Structure 1
Amino acid sequence: MRLATTLSVLVLGAGGVGHAVVTSLDGGIGRVDPFRDMKNRPQGSRGTNILLVGTDGRDKITSEEKRKYRLGGAPCHCTDTIMMVHVSAERDRVSVVSLPRDSYAEVPEHTDEAGQHHVKHPVKLNAAYAEGGPALSVRTIENATGLKIDHYLEVDFTSFMKTVDVVGGVQICTARPLKDSFTGLDLTAGTHQLNGGEALQYVRSRHTDGSADLGRMQRQQRFLAALIAKATSNGVLLNPVKFREVASSLLSSVRADEGFGVEEMLNFASAMKGFSPSSSDFTTVPLGQLNIQVKGVGSTVKWDDAKAKKLFQLLRDDKPLAPHAPPPKAAPKDAKPPRKNPGSIVEVDPARIKVQVYNGTRTDGLGQRVDDALQATGFKTTGSPRPSANLAMRRTLIEYDPRWDRSAGSLAIALPGSELRPVKGLGAMMKVTAGADFKDVVPVRAEEQPQGDFGTVTGDKVVCP
């Protein structure tokens, strides 16, 4: 969640607005010293590693907003969002790895500010901040990942909400309804324009389904991709007045190490003029065991050590976490414009949905046309449509086994206006009977398209079509 705030500084600064517009903003950044007295640190990476942590600070949020967006509880002053952000040496790519806050970790031996000595002991990852602030968080995460952290950035609820509002809101798509009584989130399936408070609900929600923190981290990543898309497409970068307004909101509640100010952010940004959602990739550290009970700590999640080590080695070597599409080549003048709509987002990947098509009319070739169109958008059709016993179908019919209702719902989005009819015992194969109302198949795509060994997604794959 808080990564959206800070990474946007880099993206916004790429507009070439000029140092004079933002230099004065440096004084608004709170300063911390997370690297004090650190010894025996990991070897540096090619590129830059930024530790992003988000706290639940809400001091500047109004009472009305706290009631509306369910922010009335007392802040725990803990890090409920932890991300490792790697900016490539060429400044042409950003990789974001979410670290679950309940990850099993071990804080190193240390002496706290009161002078009390602590031996090495197990904790949940987010507890390192509560115990020893930014410095202990950095040491704990460096030990866990083997990565040297170059910069530290910490953001709270307040600047997050302001940032979303000042860019005019962010568009989010969901293939399923999302409702969380704890945060007040209530979204129907489809596309939504979220303001700052609503976006905060979206990225904070943990109780929309059984995925808990893992689902929340995926939503945070999708939100960030959407914010990048908005910031790079609506003129913010080229408007000095708007830029200053956005930058002021971004930095108003940020804390950073002394070496990372506005000037340094602009140095990053100056080399990122071509940055877009496709320039970013997102993943979560690979997990091995869930709900591991640790005495005195509680329920934790443990990383898959082998896969996590491989992931962090890729960051250290400055390599992408997933294949990136090459930059588009210049099209000939007489070429047709590319298709702008990559497809409506559906909950189940069409490639996992089996379909048998029937022609329910007397129109020759209709069954084959429907089969070809469904296959073209990714559905796994049989390729051999059959005539229906009823050739007087006015409305296209989808018959499905209730056990595959999510697949049926995804298929129905591709066939707007069709009737959904559950049939117990039908099995995994969907049955589509084309009626006289059939016009065309709407292109669809899966909600996410993980790639590589780590379930990585690039930003352009998770924004709204």
Structure 2
Amino acid sequence: MRRTTMAGLLAVPLSIAGLYWLMLHGFLKTSAILLVVAVLGMLFAAVWEWRHGHRKWASLLLAGAVLTSGTVGFYGWNLNQKLDNIPRIKPPAAIDEGTRPPEEKETKALNILLMGADNPDQKADKPTIAELLSDGQWDVGAYRSDTIMVVHIPANRKSAYVVSIPRDSYVPIFDEAGATQGKNKINAAFSEYGPFGTLRTVEKLTGLRMNHLAVIDYEGFRDLTTAIGGVDVYVPETVYDSYQDQTWEKGWNHLEGNLALKYVRQRHGLINGDFDRVARQQNFLRAVMEKVLDDGTIGNPVKFTKTLEAITSHLTVDEDFSNGEIRGLALSLNGLDAKKVKFVTLPLDHYETVEGVGSVNIIDAARAKELWKAVREDRINRYLDKYPDDELGDQQDVS
């Protein structure tokens, strides 16, 4: 048995290496099962050795089991701590006043409103969004949102849809109590009434109940790319952004840090302005998802920890979005192919200039109604078969 024990001990580092390889290649559940089997095997072997008087070998096996369990436990605890650090914002008491779309009680499909928060005065040191809302009051104009996306995750968790609402979309604006505040560009909802005003505005626009909201500041885009080692995007034609003094050369460009921030912010110099910026934001997210899901980031403990830290350091969610629900959602999406994530943009009817508001996007109301119905019924592929131009193009077609 001693030779067997020695072989078992020597097999430990080899097993760890094998498990690490499985994790890097996406076999997370298999890795977890094998890890449990390995720990139980060491414990049973330790008991056997102890009963037969081989105290030294029993101690070594027990130490191996404890060390392995402790390492895994610490890793899980560390990840949970990072989730604990996500600021939560409490919905105002008025959030359920008026009429809201009904909750989808018969399905486990989720709608998450994702917003990007940007400080219009970069030189001003401001409190965070969570700090601003700690007293239940929103500081008008403190932040704006040029990124508004509805993330729909079907009940089977085998796909996901991301529908972008361009910031210049001219729509009725509602405050957090659901009271109408006239019409304006949709980003006015965030600036004037904060995340929950935007949530009520988007619910009124889409007819979809938002289960949760998440706000990530633009620095989060920057730090996320650094954590995963950057992503590559293709620029079809050389373009100059006069506002940010940035020239994008035709061909593949590596985005990391501040350069990623410039890419998702650009509107000036792009032919379709707001819509091209939306396409860039979607293209960036697609590249990030492909890197995270297909390149071993989730299975690499070091890289995944850095990635999670980059996200959680710049993320704010609603109070009801608990750690348990976030963990459960992440586990249920394990194995999701990035190619199963569809990026769509709210359809445009025409551009218009509105007095006191400026240049706006007039939504194609009839087609938009079809889109939101398709999202609600998990039939967006049929919608895209009918309107293929509404889906994000191939990597080399995005301006």
Normalised by the length of structure 2, the TM-score is 0.70
**By how many angstroms is 1:88 displaced?**
1.2
In 2, Cα distance between the equivalents of 1:167 and 1:78?
Answer: 27
CA contact (8 A) 1:42 1:142 kept: yes
CA contact (8 A) 1:30 1:253 kept: no
**By how many angstroms is 1:322 displaced?**
5.8
**By how many angstroms is 1:175 displaced?**
1.7
In the TM superposition, 1:46-125 aligns within 5 A as 46=107, 47-57=109-119, 77-108=143-174, 120-125=181-186
Aligned to 1:305: 365
- Say if 2:77 is the partner of 1:20: yes
In 2, Cα distance between the equivalents of 1:230 and 1:80?
Answer: 24
What secondary structure, in the 3-state scheme, does the structure 1 residue paired with 2:229 have?
Answer: coil
**By how many angstroms is 1:275 displaced?**
1.6
Aligned to 1:455: 389
In 2, Cα distance between the equivalents of 1:120 and 1:292?
Answer: 19
What secondary structure, in the 3-state scheme, does the structure 2 residue paired with 1:134 have?
Answer: helix
- Say if 2:110 is the partner of 1:44: no
| Among 237, 243, 256, the residue aligned to 2:317 | 256
- 1:438-464 CA distance string (max 9 Å, x none): xxxxxxxxxxxx8541524478x4379
**By how many angstroms is 1:290 displaced?**
1.0
In 1, Cα distance between the equivalents of 2:345 and 2:357?
Answer: 22
Q: Which amino acid aligns with 1:462?
A: Q
Aligned to 1:277: 338
Distance 1:35 1:92, change over 3 A: farther
CA contact (8 A) 2:84 2:323 kept: no
- 1:25-67 CA distance string (max 9 Å, x none): 1232122234642132112344111111111149999x9xxxx
Distance 1:457 1:284, change over 3 A: closer
In 1, Cα distance between the equivalents of 2:142 and 2:214?
Answer: 18
In 2, Cα distance between the equivalents of 1:452 and 1:96?
Answer: 18
**By how many angstroms is 1:296 displaced?**
3.4
Instruction: Identify which range, 37-46 or 249-258, moves more after superposition.
Output: 37-46
In 1, Cα distance between the equivalents of 2:373 and 2:182?
Answer: 26
Aligned to 2:301: 240
Distance 1:209 1:159, change over 3 A: closer
Distance 1:145 1:119, change over 3 A: closer
CA contact (8 A) 1:53 1:153 kept: yes
In the TM superposition, 1:384-399 aligns within 5 A as none
What secondary structure, in the 3-state scheme, does the structure 1 residue paired with 2:172 have?
Answer: strand
In 1, Cα distance between the equivalents of 2:339 and 2:164?
Answer: 18
Unaligned runs of 5+ in 2: 1-25, 33-74, 126-140
Provide the identity percentage. 32
In the TM superposition, 1:345-384 aligns within 5 A as none
What secondary structure, in the 3-state scheme, does the structure 2 residue paired with 1:236 have?
Answer: coil
Aligned to 2:351: 290
- 1:278-336 CA distance string (max 9 Å, x none): 1100111011121241x43333212111100000001111223469xxxxxxxxxxxxx
In 2, Cα distance between the equivalents of 1:147 and 1:239?
Answer: 36
In 2, Cα distance between the equivalents of 1:51 and 1:33?
Answer: 15
In 2, Cα distance between the equivalents of 1:463 and 1:156?
Answer: 27
In 2, Cα distance between the equivalents of 1:238 and 1:195?
Answer: 21
CA contact (8 A) 1:286 1:454 kept: no
In 1, Cα distance between the equivalents of 2:223 and 2:121?
Answer: 13
In 1, Cα distance between the equivalents of 2:101 and 2:177?
Answer: 21
Distance 1:245 1:258, change over 3 A: same
Q: Which amino acid aligns with 2:389?
A: G
RMSD: 3.0
In 2, Cα distance between the equivalents of 1:80 and 1:23?
Answer: 30
In 2, Cα distance between the equivalents of 1:221 and 1:451?
Answer: 20
What secondary structure, in the 3-state scheme, does the structure 1 residue paired with 2:387 have?
Answer: helix
What secondary structure, in the 3-state scheme, does the structure 1 residue paired with 2:324 have?
Answer: helix
Aligned to 2:259: 198
Normalised by the length of structure 1, the TM-score is 0.60
Aligned to 2:4: none
In 2, Cα distance between the equivalents of 1:462 and 1:265?
Answer: 29
Moved beyond 4 Å, runs of 4+: 13-19, 58-61, 109-112
Q: Which amino acid aligns with 1:94?
A: A
In 1, Cα distance between the equivalents of 2:291 and 2:79?
Answer: 20
Unaligned runs of 5+ in 1: 1-12, 64-74, 113-117, 324-449
In 2, Cα distance between the equivalents of 1:14 and 1:122?
Answer: 50
Count of residue pairs brought into register by the alignment: 308
Aligned to 1:182: 243
Say which structure is richer in helix. Answer: 2
In 2, Cα distance between the equivalents of 1:175 and 1:463?
Answer: 6
**By how many angstroms is 1:91 displaced?**
0.8
- 1:362-407 CA distance string (max 9 Å, x none): xxxxxxxxxxxxxxxxxxxxxxxxxxxxxxxxxxxxxxxxxxxxxx
CA contact (8 A) 1:226 1:463 kept: no
**By how many angstroms is 1:110 displaced?**
6.7
